[in-house]
Amino acid sequence: MYSVSKDLFERAMHLIPGGVNSPVRACRSVGTQPLFIERAEGCRLYDADGNRFVDYVGSWGPMILGHRHPAVIEALVRALAQGTSFGAPTRLEVELAQLVVDAVPSVEMIRMVNSGTEATMSAIRLARGATGRDIIVKFDGCYHGHADSLLVGAGSGVATLAIAGSPGVPQAFVDHTLSLPFNDSVTLAQVMAEKGDRIAAVIVEPVAGNMGLVPPQPGFLLKVRNLCDRYGSVLIFDEVMTGFRVAYGGAQALYSIRPDLTCFGKIIGGGLPVGAYGGRRDLMAQVAPQGPVYQAGTLSGNPLAMAAGIATLKEIAKPGFYDALAQSSRQLIDGLGQAAQKAGISVSTSGVGSMLGLFFTEGPVHNFADAKKSDLKRFSAYYRQMLAKGIYLAPSQFEAFFVSAAHDADAIDCTLQAAEDVFGQLAT
Ligand code: KE4
């Protein structure tokens, strides 16, 4: 069933740490070996053994259109005909920057980079440079990439691997980073009252997706915004995952909050390596070469990534795109909750647009401490049994999962059928 993947994994283990190029893909927290994917089409993946799966990882978010959308492929073919990388400006960078600026009013200027990590790392540096302050506030369970100063009490891989921070992160970085409970504006207010004049920025996933899916509680984001205003700290929305996912204008459009800086990734690259940070003109004007805050990147604004991102954004900007996606997503998450309930399995489900979460705990799940109450053994069994039925989920309780425009009724139906069988088996 998975013999080719097993062989490839054995070879990979000798060449690549853990046999993967990104930790969560190792599937260690769910007790399986990773499948090596050969190709993808629409909402489905095909592994090296020819097995077919309905894909709810979507490359961890970028594939909101589904895999190999014709418009994206055509744009890439056109771009390839011109070359792959020039190390010089191209019209495509201007076009993608304009699309993002038009879509997200708080973004007056934007800089392309090559990953979400680069985006958040650079936004943090900019906030520190602009304020002359050092302290950064983040929230437990939120993951902003693997930059040293942010790998403290993070979610995603760190949560899954139960590493608090990471070896190699100097103590000094821990001193400059405070990690507080998500959705807890009282604690944030206390910390800001005590240290606010030394806090350069508060960085938050406006909808947390790296401890599983945890939406903001009513008023939380507004309270964060008001506290940043009160103490002169920069508010950074890490929309690497939520940007163009939960709404065309991102979570900030959904919750009507205007951050000072926003980080992007994933969808704006249409599946190619990309990241970006942008926001207030007076802040972004301080980024080199216009200003003194240095940041650079060999492949920043790469024409292939720009072409795929432009094609993707043009498709998702079309009328009705998000309504249709929300409808199929709602059908899925409600169906999963009902299937679990029917089997007598305690789960807590949540959804913001096509970004979904299912915890194996009674809930409610409002923060990382709640999320960690989940039954990880039961999640692992659920993951493995759903995989055996052709449903490809994120291999971690602490990840969100995603529906794309390519997930048709057949895909949703067979997922719900599989879940009904699996929850029934888990209950015995
Ligand atoms: P990258 O450096 O992985 O492109 O982006 C880091 C990042 C920043 N901010 C948020 C909110 C993110 O979700 C991420 C990366 N997400 C993880 C999984 N949720 C990527 C998967 C992986 O690490 O393999």
Which residues touch 206 (CB under 8 Å, ≥6 apart)? 216, 221, 237, 238, 239, 242, 250, 251, 252, 255, 257
Return mean pLDDT, the chain: 95
Residues 306 and 422 in one domain: no
Give percent above pLDDT 90 in the chain.
Answer: 92
pLDDT at 15 over 90: yes
Task: Tell me the pLDDT band of 193, cut-offs 50, 70 and 90.
Answer: very high
**C-alpha angle 353/356/357, rounded to 5°?**
150
Both 418 and 282 in one domain: the answer is no
Q: What confidence category does residue 156 fall into, taking pLDDT thresholds of 50, 70 and 90?
A: low
Same domain, 97 and 192: yes
Give the per-residue pLDDT at 162.
39
User: What would the mean pLDDT of 384-404 be, rounded to a whole number?
Assistant: 98
Q: Is the pLDDT of residue 155 over 70?
A: no
Domain boundary among 268, 290, 316: 316
CATH of the domain at 361: 3.90.1150.10
Model pLDDT for residues 222-248, shown as the tens digit of each residue? 999 999 999 999 999 999 999 999 999
Residues 392-405 have a mean pLDDT of 98
pLDDT at residue 1, as a whole number: 83
**End residue of a domain, out of 287, 316, 345:** 316
177-180 vs 199-204, strand pairing mode = unpaired
**Mutation pick for ligand 1 pocket among 57, 240, 268, 402 (CB with most ligand atoms within 8 Å):** 240
Q: Quote the ligand 1 centre to 387 CA distance (angstroms).
A: 23
Q: Are residues 129 and 49 in the same domain?
A: no
Residue from 56, 144, 237, 300 to probe ligand 1 pocket by mutation (most atoms less than 8 Å from CB): 144
Query: Which pLDDT band, with edges at 50, 70 and 90, does 152 fall under?
Result: confident
Q: Is 250 in the pocket of ligand 1 (CB under 6 A)?
A: no
Number of domains forming the structure of the chain = 2
| CA–CA gap between residue 71 and residue 73 (Å, rounded) | 6
Same domain, 74 and 56: no
The contacts of residue 181 (CB under 8 Å, 6+ apart) are 139, 140, 187, 367, 368, 369
Alpha-carbon gap, residue 177 to 297, rounded angstroms: 25
Range of the domain at 141: 70-316
Among 252, 282, 316, residue at a domain's last position: 316
Check whether 161 has a pLDDT greater than 50: no
| pLDDT at site 153 | 64
pLDDT, tens digit (0-9, with 9 covering 90-100), for 115-129 = 999 999 999 999 999
- Tell me: the pLDDT tens digits for 306-361? 999 999 999 999 999 999 999 999 999 999 999 999 999 999 999 999 999 999 99
Give phi and psi for 29, each to the nearest 5: -75, -15
Shared domain for 87 and 175, answered yes or no, is yes
How many Å from the N-terminal Cα to the C-terminal Cα in the chain?
A: 26
372 in the same domain as 278:
no
Instruction: Give the Å distance between the CA of 230 and the centre of ligand 1.
Output: 30
Q: Return the CA Rg of the chain.
A: 21
